[in-house]
């Protein structure tokens, strides 16, 4: 009898490990799909956390109402897509990117977190960066800690998966991503091997019945406190 119980426990442990692996594999696919949707202009979870802006838009908002602009963007993440008008250095010798608006007399200043990024940017280059807004502006908007969108979203995937990997089986979700992960684990335990067949996020999302059942599990664990998508600072 003891041997049967021991074998059953080993099988259960292996089964839960399999469910964990499936959930981690799928949650990473879902995160990357969300990033792709966001970067292609679609509606995603990330859209609620990062504003997509142009240099002209920021200049217009700043000139119309500086107080309102600073309330909206101070310490907030922004994804600026624009064209570099040049790379200059400040009084400390640190490089920053200038992005003009309608003319050379109005511009946005993009201060780089990784100074060496300036080596790869020239006048006329297209810029796609994640930055932090600030209320420390002078004549025109200034964005701080700017990094390339590619490097930012790579960091986002890595930090999110690191948190997922450190979750305990009996843990409580602190974000919608974690709630979705726990939903995947629970679903996989209830429906062994069903999630194995999904190799892409698009395949997974096409299975309406599966998604609906997982969504129901997720909703049961969501609260006002964890209904967020935390994004790392650059």
Q: Which residues contact 88 (CB under 8 A, 6 or more apart)?
A: 95, 96, 98
Q: Convert the pLDDT of each residue in 51-67 to its tens digit.
A: 999 999 999 999 999 99
pTM for the model? 0.87
How many residues are present in the chain?
A: 234
| Residues above pLDDT 70, as percent of the chain | 92
Q: What is the pLDDT of residue 156?
A: 97
Residue 207 has pLDDT above 90, yes or no: yes
On the 0-12 / 13-18 / 19+ scale of CB atoms within 10 A, 27 is buried
Residue with tokens 């990033």: 35
Q: Convert the pLDDT of each residue in 10-54 to its tens digit.
A: 333 333 444 478 899 999 999 999 999 999 999 999 999 999 999
- Would you list the domain boundaries of the chain? 18-45+167-221, 50-148
CATH top-level class for 50-148? mainly beta
CA dist., res. 202 & res. 171, Å (int):
28
- Segment among 31-45, 92-106, 126-140 with least mean pLDDT: 92-106
- CA-to-CA dists, residue 99 to 4, 77, 234, angstroms: 70, 18, 20
């Amino acid at each position: 009898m003891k041997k049967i119980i021991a074998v059953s426990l080993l099988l259960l442990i292996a089964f839960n490990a399999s469910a964990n692996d499936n959930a981690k594999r799928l949650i990473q696919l879902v995160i990357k799909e969300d990033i792709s949707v966001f970067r292609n202009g679609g509606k995603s979870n990330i859209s609620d956390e990062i504003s997509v802006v142009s240099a002209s838009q920021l200049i217009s908002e700043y000139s119309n109402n500086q107080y309102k602009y600073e309330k909206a963007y101070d310490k907030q993440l922004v994804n600026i897509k624009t064209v570099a008008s040049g790379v200059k250095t400040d009084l400390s010798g640190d490089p920053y990117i200038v992005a003009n608006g309608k003319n050379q007399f109005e511009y946005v200043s993009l201060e780089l977190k990784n100074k060496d990024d300036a080596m790869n940017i020239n006048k006329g280059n297209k810029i796609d960066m994640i930055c932090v807004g600030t209320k420390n502006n002078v004549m025109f908007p200034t964005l701080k800690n700017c990094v390339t969108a590619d490097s930012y979203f790579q960091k986002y995937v890595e930090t999110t998966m690191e948190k997922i990997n450190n979750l305990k089986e009996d843990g409580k979700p602190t974000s919608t991503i974690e709630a979705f992960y726990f939903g995947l684990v629970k679903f996989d335990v209830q429906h062994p091997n069903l999630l194995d067949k999904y190799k892409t996020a698009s395949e997974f999302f096409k299975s309406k019945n599966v998604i609906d059942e997982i969504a129901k599990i997720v909703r049961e664990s969501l609260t006002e406190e964890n209904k967020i998508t935390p994004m790392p600072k650059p």
